[in-house]
Amino acid sequence: MIHRAPALRKRYVPTQRPSTVRLRASLLEEANAIVANEYASELALDDIARRVASSRRQLQRAYAEIGGTTFRDHLTRVRMDRAAEMLASQTLTVREVAHRVGYRQPAQFAKAFRRHRGVAPSDFRATMRPGRFTSTQLDTRAAA
């Protein structure tokens, strides 16, 4: 008698109604616009949800299902991208950049930047000098 392994069951993934997908995409778009404009201020998921006339849970679902991320991760990514732009300009100190992207403590900012980019803010700035790495090369280094 031959024993066969039980067939692997496919995980049930509920499909969303098109209207639900549209609603969540709209919520995400509105929330992302607020983050893009106000990333330097203290933003909280509850406040954003209220401003886009949604519940906290609905906005969390929009970020997870439509954006493939979380609110906090998206906010951090926006802040770190803006910080990298500011550091590359070489006109602001790391402390000033930290404050401009919404961090009260420069040490917290440096830790978050290092985690996101794989390099300390001051080292990032040093590599942005002419003849050194480009930002694309740095993104590749951070991903490695």
Residue 38, pLDDT > 80, answer yes
Which one, of 34, 39, 111, lies nearest residue 78 by Cα? 39
70-118, pLDDT tens digit by residue? Answer: 999 999 999 999 999 999 986 899 999 999 999 999 999 999 999 999 9
52-71, pLDDT tens digit by residue? Answer: 999 999 999 999 999 999 99
- Give CA 128 to chain center in angstroms: 22
Final residue belonging to a domain, choices 9, 34, 69: 69
48 domain residue, yes or no? yes
Which of 26-35, 63-72, 118-127, 130-139 is least confident?
A: 130-139
Q: How many domains does the chain have?
A: 2
Whether 78 and 138 map to the same domain: the answer is yes
Whether 86 and 64 map to the same domain: the answer is no
The three-class DSSP label of residue 104 is coil
pTM, full prediction: 0.77
For 38, the domain range is 18-69
- Residue 115's pLDDT is 96
Residue 23, pLDDT > 50, answer yes
30 domain residue, yes or no? yes
Q: What is the mean pLDDT of the chain?
A: 85
- Residue 91's pLDDT is 82
Whether 104 and 136 map to the same domain: the answer is yes
- Give CA 116 to chain center in angstroms: 9
Q: Please tell me the distance from the alpha carbon of residue 118 to that of residue 10, in angstroms, as a whole number.
A: 37
Per the rule left: phi > 0, alpha: psi between -120 and 50, beta: everything else, 91 is alpha
Which one, of 32, 53, 54, lies nearest residue 43 by Cα? 32
Tokens found for residue 59: 């906005």
- ∠ Cα 50 78 30 (to 5°): 35
Tokens found for residue 31: 């929330």
Whether 47 and 32 map to the same domain: the answer is yes
